[in-house]
Amino acid sequence: MRRKREVGRITFSLIDAFRLGYDNVKRRFNRAVFSMAAIALGIAFFSTLSLMDAFFSIYTQAEGGVRVESYQYWLLFVSLAVCVISITNSMLIAVYERYREIGTMKCLGALDQHVLKLFLVESIILALLGGSLGFGIGLASSVISVMFSTGFNIILKIPPESLLALFGETIFLSVALSTVATIYPAYRAAKLDPVEALRYEV
């Protein structure tokens, strides 16, 4: 962790946090995959329903009678809630596994806000990767579904800007969900006593 001193104060820039967070994701890729999968599945469900709703609304204007049922959005809410719980659980386990690392960082001068920032940045990196993957899965599954129900021509009628807008929404949603799910584990990590953390055995 690169630190700078400004008038006796230790600073930990956002660039440092992203660099260190990316390294941590690479080193613990196996565990990161579970968090990314939880995000990707929730976002895939969201993007699938949103895209199918867009496809069906165009089709309904021409033919009528096809739409996404409202109960499916309740299923979406449940899937996103499960996604948040899964990410929280995964991040809590990550905190327990890194007790000694966090203790070492704090002994070297890292402040609570630095540890908090590090975990939040890691969650954002996972959200960006998982959200992009989830959008790709949702796009593929919605296209396949619509091809069988309304035909391929309806897909070509979706404006490209609508797809870009939906991609932006999915990325924003994935970052928001991951951040909310990580706040409590990150707070726990930031409040660790360095002496107790160094004595902790995994």
| Most confident option among 39-43, 81-85, 131-135, 191-195 | 131-135
pLDDT tens track for 45-89: 888 888 877 777 766 654 544 455 565 667 778 888 888 888 888
pLDDT tens track for 138-170: 888 888 877 776 666 666 777 788 888 889 999
Which whole number is the average pLDDT over 26-32?
82
Which whole number is the average pLDDT over 177-201?
81
Q: Of the ranges 16-20, 66-70, 117-121, 157-161, which one carries the lowest mean pLDDT score?
A: 66-70
Nearest to 181 by CA among 122, 96, 114: 122
Cβ-based neighbour number of residue 163 at 10 Å: 15
pLDDT bracket for residue 137 (50, 70, 90): very high
7 φ/ψ sector (left φ>0, alpha ψ -120 to 50, else beta): left
How confident is the model at residue 3, as a pLDDT? 46
Rounded to an integer, what distance in angstroms lies between the CA atom of residue 53 and that of residue 67? 6
Q: What is the enclosing helix (H) or strand (E) of 140?
A: helix 112-149
What separation in angstroms does the CA of 194 have from each of 51, 116, 151?
A: 48, 14, 61
pLDDT bracket for residue 7 (50, 70, 90): very low
Rounded to an integer, what distance in angstroms lies between the CA atom of residue 176 and that of residue 121? 12
Residue 128 has pLDDT above 90, yes or no: yes
Q: Of the ranges 5-19, 70-84, 96-110, 166-180, which one carries the lowest mean pLDDT score?
A: 5-19
Cα angle value 10/11/13 (rounded, 5°): 160
pLDDT bracket for residue 112 (50, 70, 90): confident
Rounded to an integer, what distance in angstroms lies between the CA atom of residue 103 and that of residue 94? 14
